[in-house]
Homo-oligomer: A and B are copies of this chain.
Amino acid sequence: MTVKLMQGNDAVGWGALAAGCRFYAGYPITPSTEVAEMLSRELPKVGGKFIQMEDEIASLAACIGASVGGLKSMTATSGPGFSLMQEHIGYAAMTEVPCVVVNVQRLGPSTGQPTSASQGDVMQARWGTHGDHPIIALCPTSVSQSFDLTVKAFNFSEKYRTPVILLLDEVIGHMREKFDMPDFDAIERVDRIATDVPPEWYKPYGDSLSDVPPMANFGDGYRYHITGLFHDPHGYPTQRLDEIDPWIKRVHRKIERNLHDIVLYEEDWDPTNKTVVVSYGASARSARHAVKLARQHRLKVGEITLLTIWPFAEEVIARMARTARRIIVPEMNLGQLALEVERVAGRSKVVRVNRANGEMVTPQEILDAIEGS
């Protein structure tokens, strides 16, 4: 029997193992610690490595280092640790080193309320580090989706040579649900594109058809240079605009060209729905509950659940906003993704339903907003 009762955090750990994660470096922090505990136990069994570093800065650094060495790598943290990781998220984006950063969100700001739930780090996941950079952030709504999106996170990370952030919230991280462990061999696993040119020809940051240059691992005979400075196709520092501009364009393009692959969402609406609820993470659970209740009351309400938070699902929201009059955005924060929804909502009215006190938004609050039309 493979059906188990499992916490979201554990499912993240199993998803990582299924995706081929073989390195974890982290620093404990509530409510993410179960991810570390689980992997400290399981990684050695598959020959993987687990280390607790001296802090979160070092944790993400070690992940990047290990990834350069060829191991799929992950760290997990929560708000305070996520703030500390920001410099290295930017480094990973700049150097295009795959890695997965899990942030199980707790109530902030600051130490806040460590055991309470929140979706307060949504904008931080996009903008927490300095400078313009592309990023992918995924956000599961259930235990089994925590597994699935962890696998996706690794796959996107390797496929696009980019850091990927997996944003859980404390509700999903600590919730237990039925989980049917899939056969790992049946799971689609994407590995980084290896290079097939001889070492002399290899350009770690060269142009490529896909905009994602192949990545060689240190120790595999391709000696090259990695730097957080702007660099040329060989990885060497450059101050030339004719090398900087193409880099900037390419790393943004590699994400933008692939929005169809990256932007995951679930939709259940049609153009007759004058009200549509847009949500993600634990709030999506409340939203669905509320939408079902509303439909029982014969209200025509649509629903979009964003699984990919960043890049923002502009296209579907804009499309929906052409017909919907009101867009309801429930969030466990003071209104973060709602800002993006407002940006692309055109003339539709955006109604925010917020809680930033550690509790879930209730279905009733969402229902009230739906009915308030």
Contact = CB atoms under 8 A, between A and B. Distances in A.
Interface of A: 57, 78-80, 82-84, 86-87, 90-91, 93-95, 105, 107-113, 116, 118, 120-121, 123-124, 126-133, 227-230, 239, 241, 244-245, 248, 252, 333-334, 336, 339-340, 342-343, 347, 356-359
A118 B342 CA distance: 27
Contacts of A118: 131
A83 B127 contact: no
A129 B83 contact: yes
A113 B244 contact: yes
Contacts of A87: 80, 83-84, 110
22 contacts: A80-B130, A86-B86, A90-B108, A94-B109, A94-B111, A107-B131, A108-B130, A108-B132, A110-B129, A110-B131, A110-B228, A110-B229, A111-B229, A112-B229, A112-B230, A113-B244, A123-B126, A127-B127, A241-B357, A241-B359, A252-B334, A339-B339
B229 A113 contact: yes
Given A93-B109, A113-B229, A123-B123, 20 more contacts: A78-B130, A83-B86, A84-B84, A86-B128, A91-B110, A95-B110, A107-B131, A108-B132, A109-B131, A112-B131, A113-B230, A113-B244, A118-B131, A123-B127, A124-B128, A128-B129, A241-B357, A241-B358, A241-B359, A347-B347
Residue in A109, A334, A340 with the greatest tally of chain B CB atoms within 10 Å: A109
A105 B132 CA distance: 12
B127 A124 contact: yes
Contacts of A91: 109-111
A109 B110 CA distance: 24
Contacts of A57: 84
A327 B343 CA distance: 14
Ranked 4 nearest A-B pairs via Cβ:
A108-B131, A79-B130, A109-B131, A110-B228
Contacts of A128: 83, 86, 124, 127-129
A318 B107 CA distance: 32
B90 A245 contact: no
Contact of A112 (B120, B228, B359): B228
A118 B83 CA distance: 22
Residue in A84, A108, A358 with the greatest tally of chain B CB atoms within 10 Å: A108
Contacts of A116: 239
Nearest to A121: B130
A277 B358 CA distance: 41
A88 to B, nearest CB: 9
A242 to B, nearest CB: 10
Contacts of A356: 132, 248
B112 A94 contact: yes
A129 B84 CA distance: 9
B131 A120 contact: yes
Nearest to A335: B132
B333 A113 contact: no
B108 A358 contact: no
B228 A111 contact: yes
